[in-house]
Amino acid sequence: MSFSRRDFLKASAAGIVIGAFPGLAFASSELIKKKGQRVVVVGGGFGGATAAKYIRKWSNNKIEVVLIERNPMFISCPMSNTVLGGGRTIDDLTMSYDELKKKYGIKLVKGEVTAIDPEKQTVMLADGHLKYDRLIVSPGVDFMYDKVEGLNESVANTSITHAWKAGAQTVLLRKQLEAMPDGGVFAISIPKGPYRCPPGPYERACQVAHYFKANKPKSKVLILDANPDIVSKKGLFMAAWNELYPGMVEYRPNALVSKVDVASKTAKTEFDDVKADVLNVLPPMKAGAVADMAGLANVDGRWCGVDFLTYESKVHKGIHVIGDAVSAALPKSGHMATSQAKVCAAAVIELMQDKQPDQNPTIANTCYSMVSGNEAVHVANVYRFNAEKQAMISAEGGGVSAKRSELEGAFAGYWLKNILNDVLL
Amino acid sequence: MIMSRTLLVVFGMLFCTAAQAEVDKHARNLAASCSACHGTDGNSEGGMPVLAALDKVLFVNQMKDFKSGARPATVMHQHAKGYTDEEYELLADFFAAQKRH
């Protein structure tokens, strides 16, 4: 940058646009002095926390890892629909980051990234900056509220929730269901794919129906799906709706909600207006805002293109992107985020020693959905790197459950326990 | 002549060691994706079987039985079909070498 500090001071004295320098790179202090090789990880969800842990573990603690996370606690999105069904509380899904600090020596910085400078290899936060050798961005998703007229973050936090990041909105949605009179309508709107957790909305319909069946049997679950058909585990979800909740769940395909009226809890589709007692709208999604700070969302302006051997961004060298934010033919699931994180962690360690990363990454995904209080269904797949296509391609043999079962319901619970341990302990 | 033969052997050994280390990392990376269900390094906390320190022959046989359908499963018949026999061996070596907690 040819603009000197003196020029900057002159410019600001003259009242010229200070906003052009996000993060106040000149004035800010280095939060943790960089000594040896360092990886900074932005975002402590399934992807980011796993990447942080495995870089420490697999580098024998030789590489310093700083993990930036804005939330004080980790809350699992997987299985959070069971909070709506009543099987779990949000506390059951909440874990501390302490073991990542104590056991692995990860330096945790609580805060929000305000800017990324790929040239200077610096991440800016409100109260200072951090330097890195390599940056891993695991920003999850953000919501495109502007695609649904009448919807915004404040409405989502107080009235028409998405509850698509587990936390306060999940608890609010549960309270709304509890307050709803018997005979009421719960409507969920699903955006066009790709979105986080493809089977999640259908699982949510099951969990709400499960709660209604026991507590408000005259009530109805209405699914407004912008997609032409059920996106995931179709036969299994339809069987659950027909057999477990007959007459309660109604599915409408090609029902894109473009507008909501907050006061009357009405969702407008191309065909009609749907009034609900509890309205739950998942807005279209894109890579989390941090991706935009370094211009990483190069696919449709929404998702981040990466090299699947390293998860290095197609836009900037030295910056890696993992998890739901990645543009790939991989499901946006918690297990996928951890698997991508490990491929990325292994590659980053090799790259920092000027060695070649693993040329044949092969990863698995197992995703459970709870269709009642104790029964689950799954989808499982192995994905391998295809050098010709430069893509992760589904291997032979993947598929879904033969039928829903209590056995799989039990496995779903153990899946949660084991994956949370793998990410955080 | 004797000297160069010795050198060849030494180089051969070095190469093998280097190649072995690479294979181990690939096996480690392959196995890492299993830990969502089977715990970090195969140390499951319940439900799914512990794979850490599992006998190699047993591991490979189970995978083959999952693939053929000889051992019924909810999920593993699908994953088993996604991996090759060579990968079964790599995974078996890796898990057999892990400490059970």
Q: Which domains does chain B have, with CATH numbers?
A: 27-97 (1.10.760.10)
Q: Which of B80, B74, B46 is nearest to B60 (CA)?
A: B80
Predicted confidence band of residue A28 (pLDDT cuts 50, 70, 90): confident
List phi, psi (to 5°) of B20.
-60, -45
How big is the A-B interface in CB pairs under 8 Å?
A: 109
Residues with Cβ within 8 Å of A95's Cβ and at least 6 positions away in sequence, in order, are A73, A74, A75, A76, A420, A424
Q: Report the chain A residue with the minimal C-alpha distance to residue B39.
A: A418
Contacts of residue A417 in chain B, CB cutoff 8 Å?
45-47
Q: Which of A421, A342, A423 is nearest to B44 (CA)?
A: A421
CA gap A178, A281 in Å, rounded: 18
Peptide bond into A194 cis (omega under 30): yes
- Which segments of A53-150 are extended strands (E)? 64-69, 74-75, 94-95, 107-110, 113-117, 122-125, 128-131, 134-137, 141-143
Contacts of residue A335 in chain B, CB cutoff 8 Å?
36
Residue found by looking up tokens 């065909």 in the block: A271
Average pLDDT, chain A: 94
A414·B38 Cβ contact <8 A: no
Residues A307-336 pLDDT 10s: 999 999 999 999 999 999 999 999 999 999
A419·B77 Cβ contact <8 A: no
pLDDT at site A42: 98
Say if A216 is an interface residue toward chain B (CB within 8 Å). Answer: no
ipTM rounded to 2 decimals: 0.89
Say if B39 is an interface residue toward chain A (CB within 8 Å). Answer: yes
The tally of CA atoms less than 13 A away on the side-chain side of residue A150 is: 16
Q: Give the closest-approach CA distance of A53 to chain B in angstroms.
A: 11
pLDDT > 70? residue A119: yes
Among the partner residues A54, A346, A411, nearest to B48 by beta-carbon distance: A411
Contacts of residue A410 in chain B, CB cutoff 8 Å?
47
B82·A381 Cβ contact <8 A: yes
Q: Which of A154, A381, A189 is nearest to A285 (CA)?
A: A189
A362·B83 Cβ contact <8 A: yes
Tell me the two tokens of residue A171: 């608890």
Residue found by looking up tokens 């739901």 in the block: A324
pLDDT at site A27: 60
Q: Report the chain A residue with the minimal C-alpha distance to residue B43.
A: A418
Say if A138 is an interface residue toward chain B (CB within 8 Å). Answer: no
Mutation target to probe the B interface, by most B beta carbons within 10 A, among A422, A423, A425 is A422
A335·B36 Cβ contact <8 A: yes
Residues with Cβ within 8 Å of B100's Cβ and at least 6 positions away in sequence, in order, are B43, B50, B52, B53
Say if A199 is an interface residue toward chain B (CB within 8 Å). Answer: no
Residues A401-415 pLDDT 10s: 999 999 999 999 999
Span A252-273, average pLDDT: 96
- The DSSP bridge pattern shows strands A362-370 and A376-386 to be antiparallel
Say if A411 is an interface residue toward chain B (CB within 8 Å). Answer: yes
The tally of CA atoms less than 13 A away on the side-chain side of residue B70 is: 7
A395·B29 Cβ contact <8 A: no
Say if A332 is an interface residue toward chain B (CB within 8 Å). Answer: no
Provide the whole-model pTM.
0.91
B45·A415 Cβ contact <8 A: no
B37·A418 Cβ contact <8 A: yes
Task: List A363's β-bridge partners, or say none.
Answer: A383
Q: Which of A41, A11, A14 is nearest to A341 (CA)?
A: A41
Q: Which residues of chain B have pLDDT under 70?
A: 1-23
Q: Are A358 and A379 in contact (CB under 8 A)?
A: no
pLDDT at site A26: 54
pLDDT at site A8: 41
Span A48-58, average pLDDT: 98
Predicted confidence band of residue A180 (pLDDT cuts 50, 70, 90): very high
pLDDT > 70? residue A61: yes
A358·B40 Cβ contact <8 A: no
B74·A407 Cβ contact <8 A: yes
pLDDT > 50? residue A11: no
Mutation target to probe the A interface, by most A beta carbons within 10 A, among B51, B76, B79 is B79
A338·B36 Cβ contact <8 A: yes
pLDDT > 60? residue A17: no
Predicted confidence band of residue A75 (pLDDT cuts 50, 70, 90): very high
Span A345-363, average pLDDT: 98
- pLDDT above 70 coverage of chain A, percent: 94
CA gap A213, A219 in Å, rounded: 8
Say if A78 is an interface residue toward chain B (CB within 8 Å). Answer: no
Q: Report the chain A residue with the minimal C-alpha distance to residue B26.
A: A358
Among the partner residues B37, B48, B81, nearest to A397 by beta-carbon distance: B81
Q: Which of A69, A71, A67, A72 is nearest to A40 (CA)?
A: A67
Among the partner residues A339, A397, A417, nearest to B78 by beta-carbon distance: A397
CA gap A207, A293 in Å, rounded: 37
Span A118-124, average pLDDT: 97
Tell me the two tokens of residue A49: 């926390």
Q: Give the closest-approach CA distance of B50 to chain A in angstroms.
A: 11
